[in-house]
């Protein structure tokens, strides 16, 4: 029996505040506290720009490790599997 593992192209995520870069790396998924509710960005997600509210960003990294960041609001842009999160503070 032949077993084939398919590796999907990862997304690249940057989380930035006015003072410093908080996170940078390849991720499988990102869950964000949008101003109209929680939403998740997966590989090949449609382009999006959204405001963020106070809440938690949850990341599943390329190696399946999970990380969380408490945030007070900001913006997110996703385009061509590149996600940039601009935060007021963390």
Give pLDDT tens digits for 1-59: 666 555 556 899 999 999 999 999 999 999 999 999 999 999 999 999 999 999 999 99
| Strand 21-34 to 37-42 pairing | antiparallel
- The reply to whether 1 falls in a domain is no
- For tokens 């410093």, what's the residue? 20
Q: Is residue 87 within 8 Å of 73, Cβ to Cβ?
A: yes
Both tokens of residue 90? Answer: 């963390």
Domain coverage including residue 22: 11-87
Global pTM?
Answer: 0.86
**Helix (H, G, I), strand (E, B), or coil: what is residue 88?**
coil
Q: Can you give the CATH number for the domain in which 55 is found? A: 2.60.15.10
Q: Give residue-wise pLDDT tens across range 47-90.
A: 999 999 999 999 999 899 999 999 999 999 999 999 999 998 77
pLDDT of residue 51: 97
pLDDT of residue 45: 93
- The reply to whether 28 falls in a domain is yes
Both tokens of residue 2? Answer: 């032949």
- The reply to whether 3 falls in a domain is no
Number of C-alpha atoms within 13 angstroms, CB side, residue 51? 5
């Amino acid at each position: 029996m032949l077993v084939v593992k398919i590796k999907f192209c990862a997304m690249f995520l940057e989380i930035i505040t006015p003072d410093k870069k908080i996170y940078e790396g390849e991720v499988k998924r990102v869950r964000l506290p949008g101003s109209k509710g929680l939403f998740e960005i997966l590989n090949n997600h449609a382009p999006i720009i959204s405001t963020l509210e106070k809440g938690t960003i949850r990341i599943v990294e390329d190696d399946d490790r999970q990380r969380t960041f408490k945030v007070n609001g900001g913006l997110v842009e996703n385009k061509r599997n590149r996600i940039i999160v601009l935060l007021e503070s963390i």
